[in-house]
Structures are given as structure tokens and as C-alpha cells.
Structure 1
Amino acid sequence: MHSGCLVAALALGLSAVHAVDPQVPLNYSTYEGTPYSNGITAWLGIRFAAPPTGNLRFAAPLDPPIVGAVQAADQHGPYCIATAASPSVTTTSEDCLFLDVYAPSNASTNAKLPVFVYIQGGGFNANSNANNNGQGLITASGYNIVVVTFNYRVGPYGFLGGAEVAAGASLNNGIKDQLKALQWVQRYITRFGGDPNHVVVGGSSAGAASVSLLLTAYAGRNDGLFHATAAESQSFAAMLTNQESQYSYDNLVMRTGCASADNTLACLRSVDIAELQAQNIATPFPGAQKAPLYPYAPIIDGDLVPDYTLRLFQQGKFIHVPTIWGDDTNGGSMFAPKTTSTLGESNSWLHDQFPPLTLTQIRKLNQLYPVDGTPTFNATGRYWRQLSNVYGDLRYTCPGLSISSIYWRAGLPSWNYLWNVEDPAQVAQGYGVPHTVEVNAIFGPENVAGGSAPVSYYTGGVNAPIVPIVQRYWTSFVRALDPNLYRAPGSPQWETWRPVAEDLDGSRLIFQTDATRMAQVDALTRRRCEYTTSIGVDIRQ
């Protein structure tokens, strides 16, 4: 046994004889992890699928190749190339299907610790939360969980549509990568001390959208890959059928000079990655005037993704497990253009994200979200906050409230939250409490990639007290499938979502520094969400 692991195990007062050795044999290779002095061992950069390159570009993930030599698992694997990103960035690669495992150093192969699998966000066009460190969650759990993070393909590599792709490759490979990672967990997590029969899947933004897609995959078929979910800043973008997605394939073929090829798919697979990335740009959705924020997204393929996500939930075609749903007070503020100065600019930008929006629907949204009285910040446009409020409710907040009610009607426990922790710097910039900011507290500010956490979340900051509160709720949910059993002493009972008079008339947990509490959804939010959710399927969410 590695001496560092022995020291860590003895420091915890546990027998080192049964601890998982840092050198873990898998069926295809052996990986050497790194034990830390805090009693946690990390295995970084484990390959969970074959390199999706060459003829495997645009293909469904395959098993990783067999490698006889012991591999050092001490560095993160490169994350997946983003739409419009330079191929010269050394931290990204087309060969990107790697995962990280964090586990208590004292865990044995028989420990059967609950497992938290985190799916990062990035709008399905980037890996924007790559390499978050699971050590903070393990410490908060009292060394009682295992944490897994991973990369998945994005942009055209993960979500290129078209008849040619469906016939000669595979659709929705980014979601299939996620399933491949979950299948890896089922097969191998016991070797790290985890329990494959107790897996909680969480995710933020597109990762939370992935949670929704996994819950409704194959019309709610339960393959036993997970047993509860936590959607952090859930997201519901517009979806296209594969036939509607043909334009993205045709555009890419033309831009890369493959239109004259007898086999355009084979040509795309042979294009050098630098050349392909030069043409991997955003183009408008059919019927839109300008390119959306996120041009590639999961496609309705009639199989893995059989229909619009909201309709599948409404039809009861989802996996029945305990769930958490929640969002931030100002979920749209990071996305709406700050220069939005007129109602026309606001309406046009929103329509670019959701082309099915009709003039009648836009008129109603304008009535529900007036600009009068909305404050402006510095040199921002008068309609910036108006647009961010519409977009935040339409894409993020309101669908989560609706789905919590759907789970309640199905007799399943569901907990809902609103993150209302104000960072002084973000508030001063006019962002309020922006999209996914809670992830910094859930993992711990020092454990998120890139040092992007608000300063106020770190030790000594005004919002530092909220970090252990939310970490205890989350790790309690991972451990007990209930956020309350192991919650922090003195923190309020997080009541399950229970509508009073109507679907959206329920109570959620408001996270706020020194004032976390249960509160009923306010009347204005209910009125707005009643309308936005009523048009959700119409606008292809």
C-alpha cells in the first residue's frame, strides 16, 4: 500500500488493511491514483471510452483500448473542444473522454459508499465546469461519499444532426458519452469504494439539462444507472428534430469544402481538426435572424431523445427517483446582451434563441415583463434587465417549478430551491444572483476550476457561512436520498415541494446567507411561470 494512503487511513483511526490501494486495476488498464494528506485519494484522467477521433468522429462511444502498463492518474484529461474555440488551446482535445474519481483514502472495495456523479455545463457547446475538485464534498460528507466528474463531447462532435449522421454515425453522442460514463461507474466504482446501487447524478446548466434528458431518456426507461438526481440551475433550450437539424450538417459540409465529396460524412471525418474548428462556428436556427448563444444541442431522434423534454415529463415518461430542482434569482443576467436598448432588440434576441415564439406569445411576454421601473446599471441598455428576466424565467426557473409539481403528482419526493446569495461584486455589476453561481458553494469555492468563484464565498468573505450549509444539504441528499437527514445543525428543514392551490403554488428553500428559509413562490413569479410553462412545448423545450 502507498505510504500516503497508509498515513491518511491511520490518521482517521481506521484499519489501513482494507483501504483501496491507489493502484486500481480495471479490465482494460491499471491506474495509479494520488493519496492526499487530508485522507482523500484522487484518480485523474481515467479514460472511460475510446478516443472519438478518426473514423470514430461523430460515432457513439466505444470501450476504451486495452493498455498493459500502469498509467499515472495524476493529471486531468483534456476537456472537449468547444464551438468556436481555437484548436491550439492545449487544455482541449478531440480525444477528451476522461473522468476523475475522488474517494476517501480509507474506503475499502466493500465500503459501498454513495456516489455523486457530476455533469458539467457549457450549453452543450463547451465543457465549462471541467475538473471541479470533489474533495470539498467528500470532506463535508464526513468521508462518506465518492465523487466522479467527467467530460463529454459538445458542439458538432457531440450533437451534429442530419440524415447522413443518423445513417452513418450516431446522434446525440454527448448524451451517449454521459451514459457511457454512468455505465463505467456501474462496472468499476466498487474498486474505488463506491456503491453502484446508490448513485446520485447532479449537474449544472447544460449538466442539469442532461439530468432532465437522462430522466426522460428512452421515454423514461430505467436502466438502473442512477437512483436520484439534483438539477442545479436547470436549463431548457429549444430542441430540434433530426430533420430540422439538417441545416447544421449541410452548413458544415459546405464550409469545410466537403460538398463535392461522394461521401460527405467520410469527408468531414477526414478534415483536419484545425480546419474543422475554423468552420465550427455558430449559425442561426431556421427561422431566426442571428445565431443563438448555443447553436448545437440534443436532437429529438425518436429513440434516446424521443420527444420534447417538457412533453415527456408531462406525459409521465420519466424515471421515478427522488429529485432536486432549483435555480438562481437572476438566471438570465449573464446571457442577455448588456447593450439591449429597445424592445425590438429584446424581442429579436429572444426569438433568436427560441425561433418558434409567435408574435402573440412575444406580445404576452412583453406584458408580463414590462421595462418600466427596471433599474439600469452603468452604461447598460434600458432593456437588458427586462430581457434577462424573461430569459431567466423562460429557460431556467419556471420549468423547474413545473417539473417539481409533476413529481409531486406522481407521488415522488422532490425538493426545490432558489439561490438568492448576493455577491457584492456581482450585484454592483448588475448581475444580481446569476446562473449557476451556487455551484461554487456546493463544491466549495476553492474546488471549482479556474478560480472563478466569487471572492465573498471564500473563508472570511460575507457569504462564506452559506458554503457548509449547502454542502451539508447536498451531501445528505447523496448519502440518504434526502437533504435533511445529515443537514447542518440549525439549518431549516427542507420541505418537499407540495403545491397548495395550483401547480406552481408551492414552497421552496431560499438559500440566503444567514437567512436560509422555506418560502412560498411569490404571486408574480407564479403568474409569469404559469404562462411560460404553458407555451414550453410550443417553443420546443
Structure 2
Amino acid sequence: MARAFLPCIPLILYVSSACAQDSTTSSASASPTNPTVALDQATVNGVSASGVQQFLGIPYASPPVNELRFAPPQPVASYNGTINATTFGYSCPQQNASLTSSFFKLPDQEGTVVTMKVDQRWADVDFDDDEAPPENEDCLTLNVMRPENTTQSSNLPVVIWIVGGGFETGTTQYSAEDDAKLVQRSTQLGQPMIFVSMNYRVSGWGFLSSQETKNVNGTNVGLKDQRTAIEWVNKYIGNFGGNSSRVTLWGQSAGAISSSLHMLHNNGNPDGLFHGAFMQSGAPIPVGNYTGGQPWYDQLVNQTNCTGSGDTLDCLRKVPYEEMKTVINRTPSYYSYLSLDLVWVPRADGDFIADNPQRLVEEGSVANIPFVSGNVADEGTVFALSSLNVTSDDEFREWLKFSYMSDVPDQNVSDVMELYPSDPSAGSPFNTSIFNAITSQYKRSAALQGDLVFQAPRRFFVQQRSGDQPVWAYQDSRGKYTPFVGAYHSSDLTKMVLNDYLIRFVNNLDPNNGTGPDWPKYDNSSKQIYWFTSDNDNTGVEISTDDYRVPQMEYLTNLSLAYPL
């Protein structure tokens, strides 16, 4: 699969299949006769290998540089000449995320930064990717992969992959081999499909939020990049043999959250751009409005000497690339003390996101399309590694008040602490008794973060939409006994069995095909979900009830509706 929310964590997991992803950045091996496709007045030259034709690095919008930095994407109006689509385009600028670095807290009123160090027992664990693909602001490209022998009249269904990465990282370049295998697998199942992926702006480049960006329609430009790529598919995928009336959005983590936000955009009217969604570990999250990003905008302004400028946003657009990247990298990442209380995240702006996404779900402003939404069992474990220096009840309360619950009344914080006790047998990895308790608060933190950001939003989403549209839900506990992290966030991306359900869904808008137990639609009376327990397609699945940690998640959902992140 394409790269998950997280970089690989082999030093903690010892042996992690998730880390065996392809890191190819060059083109696939060319066949003697390489495929071509016409786009407007242009000829697009691709490559072919192992039964899959690939068209890589096709620009879908103008380079977001100079005056277009931090601006909405400008779609390519028309193509001319020859387009070499044999290699990937640049990755969009990525934010550094390392547990070895200092943890940056919110700037105080003087604009300084308070730091706290990670527990030194993990000081030798480096989470950065030293072999990352090259980055550049000129990065708004997409890739199309299709089975060989596809013609313009093939009319194949299409899946659009939105890569995850916590809205701070994410690139399509890591997974060319896996993406091609997915297309190969669709042919083997007799349900061929076309695969599309896009690069979009992340971190401060894509999610700068402030009054200044709001004034010029410049909030959530990363989501707007995605939307522009989806519109490109609607316009051009027929040239590749795809059917623009059979398009499914697919994403994991930030990619799944993004998919759900596209379902909420435009009062829930998808404008015929997509017709289904398959979302792994991501649902509409409880985020507040654009003003929550103002302190971080102001920090960029202060640290780039744009404070005295009459137009600070115009000044930021003129800051040299390397300087801007350095300043953005000083802000907290998802491996910081703030963890999943993300600095760079989609925020309600009255434009792309009209309101707190969970309020929109509550109001029914959701695209009426079939969708699948699921979680892994231990969503929060890898994120709890960034707060291992929290080792007492008092420090846990301080961490909660600083990050997720800064505006929450003290009594509600106490309620949350009671619902998520420090008893390791109640924490995550769940159902592992007293084991995996790296510190006295680690499993508690992992349980809370996984439920708050992933499990509770998923349950709220499917229960709100059940009965109004076809909905399927799942839980994945495969890998439960992975040391320290259990069935960790992104672990489901390594399981080909889930890919088969995806392929069937893309073709039929239903994940079932008669193998294994029937996957029932989610119903609020029975609350049945598919529960993956092993990699065997027939025996490793059971039908279960979505009734784990009900009081805890109901409380978190009500709290997040009142006090969004």
C-alpha cells in the first residue's frame, strides 16, 4: 500500500512487515512498447511492467510557488505537446518527525518556545526517513495505473488513493510496487480497476490557518489540492479507460479523514465526482475553526521576520524555500508532546469545511454514498510513545490539559481520567493484561488517544449514517501481540486480505462476494461489524458487536462536540 500515517518503527517492533514497503522513486521497467494516452492536445508516455501500465507524475495543477504558495490550486487548463509520465514527480515538502528531537510546546505570549525532552531510554530511536524521495514545492502531480490491454472503451471502475501522514507528511512515491500489485490483484479476482494517487500539500504548506488565510480563501489548500485531483479524474479518466461514474475514494488515517471530509464538503453534494468511500482508521474528526491555527501562523511570521510587513501572508510567500522549511519543521509534529492534537490539520473555515465536521455529520450534511469505515484495535499506541515522560496521574492530567483538553472544565477532565484509568490491564494494547506497560501511564495514554481521534469518531460516523445509506464497519486486531504496540495504527495496510474487500467494493459498492462470512451492513439495533482476527480470508474473520468501551466513547464524543480540538 501507499505510505501510511506513520514512518516505520522497526526498532520498537523488532520486525515489522509495515516497514517492508517499497521505496522506489524511479520509473518501472519499461516494456519494448510503452503505453500512450492522449490528453487534450498532448501525448502522455507511460511505462509498462508485470501486466500493469503506469502513467506517473502527471501535473494536475500549476506549481504552487511564488504568489501561489499558500493559495488554492490552479487546475491545469489544457495539455499540449508530449508529457513524459515515466517517473514520479516530486514529493510535496514533508515535515520532519523524530522522537529524538525536542518537543515543542505552544508559543507563549512573548513568542518563545518551551521545550521538553523525550525520555532518554528512547533517545537512540530515530523515526526520520533518511532515504526519502526528493521534495519540491512544485509537487502537484498524480499517477494512474491500469491493467495492460485496457483501452479507452474498457470503462473500468476507479479507486482514488489519498495518502495518509497526519497531514504533515505523505507522498505517493513509496509504494509503486504495492500499488501495481493491487491492480494486478484486481485482474486476478476478475474485477479489474484503475488506480489513481495524488500528491497534495501537507504540513504548513497545505494547512496554514489564520485570519489572513481566511481572508483570501487560503485555508485547507491541501484538501483543495485533493479535490482538484478528484476533479481531474472526473474530466480525464475516460482517456485511460476508466468510468468517471464509478469512482471510489480510498484512504488510511489522514487519507481516510480527508475522504470523509470530501463527503461533508458542499453540503454533502459530491457533484458526481465520487460514488463510494473506503476509509481505514479515519472518520470526521472534531476540529474547531481556523482561528485555532492563528498562533502557529503568527509563529511563522515571527520567525521569518515578516512581523513588520504590511501583508504578512505576501511576505511569507517570498520567504526562501529552505528557510520556510526550517521554520515549519520547528513546529510540533505528531511525535511531539502534543501528539495527535495536530498543529497542521484541516479546520472549519466556512468554505471547504462549513463547521465542526462532527456537527455536519449530526446535521446530515453527508454525501449519500455507500462507504466502509474501520479501525485497528490499538490505534493510539504509537502516538503514546511521544509522552513516555508522563509517569504519574498529575503529569497525565497536565498533559491532557495542555493538549486535547485545554478548554475543557476540570470536572470533565477528571471524568475522562476515571473512564481511562492508569490500570494497565484497561489500557492499549487492549486485552493484554498487565503486559506492554512501558510506563505507568503509557497504556492509558494509548487507549485515550486511539479512542478520541479514531475509534469514537468512526463509531459516531457509522451510527449517525446507518439507515440513511449503505454502511459497513470493521475492527482489525491482527498482530495483537506485537510487543508494546499491539494491532498498531497502519498495521492493516500490510494485509492483502483487506485489499480484496476493497477491490470488490470498488467494483460493486459492496465488499462482499460470497467468500468468508457475509459482511452485514451496519445497523444501529444489532451494531454488527466485521472483526479481522487473522490473515485467513475464511477463518480469520468473525461477526462481532460494536459494543466495546461504549461509556468511554460516548463521553468523548459528547465532549468533543462541545470542545472540538
Letter in 2 for 1:380: I
Q: Is the 8 A contact 1:506 1:521 kept in 2?
A: yes
**1:507, distance to aligned residue in structure 2 (A):** 1.2
Partner SS, residue 431 of structure 1: coil
Structure 2: any 5+ residue segments left out of the alignment? 1-28, 98-127, 426-432
Q: Is the 8 A contact 2:467 2:523 kept in 1?
A: no
Partner SS, residue 491 of structure 2: coil
Map 1:142-221; keep pairs closer than 5 Å: 142=187, 144-168=192-216, 170-221=218-269
1:403 is the counterpart of 2:468? no
Partner SS, residue 147 of structure 1: strand
The residue aligned with 1:35 is 48
Letter in 1 for 2:485: Y
The residue aligned with 1:106 is 149
The residue aligned with 1:450 is none
Partner SS, residue 549 of structure 2: helix
**1:475, distance to aligned residue in structure 2 (A):** 0.5
- CA displacement, residues 465-511 of structure 1 (integer Å, 9 cap, x when unaligned): xx2x32221110000000013x6x3x1111111122xxxx6111011
The residue aligned with 1:116 is 159
The residue aligned with 1:140 is 185
Question: Which residue, out of 347, 359, 362, partners 2:413?
Answer: 362
**1:531, distance to aligned residue in structure 2 (A):** 1.8
Q: Is the 8 A contact 1:282 1:294 kept in 2?
A: no
1:25 is the counterpart of 2:38? yes
Letter in 2 for 1:372: D
**Following the alignment from structure 1 to structure 2, what is the Cα–Cα distance between the partners of residues 94 and 225?**
27
Partner SS, residue 327 of structure 1: strand
**Following the alignment from structure 1 to structure 2, what is the Cα–Cα distance between the partners of residues 255 and 226?**
41
Identical-residue share of aligned pairs (%) = 29
Letter in 2 for 1:138: V
Q: Is the 8 A contact 2:340 2:449 kept in 1?
A: no
Structure-2 change in CA distance of 1:376 and 1:275 (3 Å):
farther
Structure-2 change in CA distance of 1:523 and 1:61 (3 Å):
closer
- CA displacement, residues 423-459 of structure 1 (integer Å, 9 cap, x when unaligned): 76xx12x100011211222xxxxxxxxxxxxxxxxxx
Letter in 1 for 2:488: P
Q: Is the 8 A contact 2:40 2:80 kept in 1?
A: no
Structure-2 change in CA distance of 1:96 and 1:166 (3 Å):
same
The residue aligned with 2:560 is 536
Partner SS, residue 174 of structure 1: helix
1:470 is the counterpart of 2:494? no
**Following the alignment from structure 1 to structure 2, what is the Cα–Cα distance between the partners of residues 41 and 124?**
29
Give the TM-score, by structure 1 length: 0.83
**Following the alignment from structure 1 to structure 2, what is the Cα–Cα distance between the partners of residues 28 and 269?**
33
Map 1:300-339; keep pairs closer than 5 Å: 300-336=348-384, 337-339=387-389
**1:87, distance to aligned residue in structure 2 (A):** 13
The residue aligned with 2:122 is none
1:479 is the counterpart of 2:479? no
**Following the alignment from structure 2 to structure 1, what is the Cα–Cα distance between the partners of residues 241 and 367?**
26
Partner SS, residue 409 of structure 1: coil
Letter in 2 for 1:97: L
The residue aligned with 2:95 is 83
1:387 is the counterpart of 2:408? no
1:508 is the counterpart of 2:505? no
- CA displacement, residues 390-440 of structure 1 (integer Å, 9 cap, x when unaligned): 110111012112211122132x1100000111176xx12x10001121122
Q: Is the 8 A contact 2:375 2:474 kept in 1?
A: yes
Partner SS, residue 305 of structure 2: coil
Letter in 2 for 1:381: T
Q: Is the 8 A contact 1:494 1:518 kept in 2?
A: no
Q: Is the 8 A contact 1:28 1:64 kept in 2?
A: no
**Following the alignment from structure 1 to structure 2, what is the Cα–Cα distance between the partners of residues 510 and 289?**
32
Q: Is the 8 A contact 1:77 1:96 kept in 2?
A: yes
Tell me the matched-pair count: 486
Letter in 1 for 2:502: W
Map 1:39-78; keep pairs closer than 5 Å: 39-64=51-76, 68-78=80-90
Question: Which residue, out of 136, 143, 146, partners 1:93?
Answer: 136
- CA displacement, residues 298-319 of structure 1 (integer Å, 9 cap, x when unaligned): 1211121000111101110111
Structure-2 change in CA distance of 1:205 and 1:144 (3 Å):
same
Question: Which residue, out of 493, 498, 501, partners 1:439?
Answer: 493
- CA displacement, residues 338-389 of structure 1 (integer Å, 9 cap, x when unaligned): 4432223333334414533332222122222222243566782111011100
Partner SS, residue 334 of structure 1: helix
**Following the alignment from structure 1 to structure 2, what is the Cα–Cα distance between the partners of residues 194 and 345?**
54
Question: Which residue, out of 531, 547, 550, partners 1:526?
Answer: 550
Q: Is the 8 A contact 1:87 1:93 kept in 2?
A: no
The residue aligned with 1:457 is none
**Following the alignment from structure 1 to structure 2, what is the Cα–Cα distance between the partners of residues 199 and 69?**
28
**Following the alignment from structure 2 to structure 1, what is the Cα–Cα distance between the partners of residues 449 and 264?**
24
**Following the alignment from structure 2 to structure 1, what is the Cα–Cα distance between the partners of residues 478 and 304?**
46
**1:117, distance to aligned residue in structure 2 (A):** 0.4
**Following the alignment from structure 1 to structure 2, what is the Cα–Cα distance between the partners of residues 520 and 203?**
24
Q: Is the 8 A contact 2:424 2:440 kept in 1?
A: no
**1:167, distance to aligned residue in structure 2 (A):** 2.6
- CA displacement, residues 178-229 of structure 1 (integer Å, 9 cap, x when unaligned): 1100000001111111110000001110111101110101221231110000
Letter in 2 for 1:33: G
The residue aligned with 1:274 is 322
**Following the alignment from structure 1 to structure 2, what is the Cα–Cα distance between the partners of residues 59 and 373?**
47
Q: Is the 8 A contact 1:221 1:318 kept in 2?
A: yes
- CA displacement, residues 7-29 of structure 1 (integer Å, 9 cap, x when unaligned): 9xxxxxxxxxxxxx711121264
Q: Is the 8 A contact 1:507 1:518 kept in 2?
A: no
**Following the alignment from structure 1 to structure 2, what is the Cα–Cα distance between the partners of residues 104 and 377?**
46
Give the TM-score, by structure 2 length: 0.80
The residue aligned with 2:15 is none
Question: Which residue, out of 498, 506, 522, partners 2:523?
Answer: 498
Q: Is the 8 A contact 2:340 2:383 kept in 1?
A: no
Q: Is the 8 A contact 2:133 2:173 kept in 1?
A: no
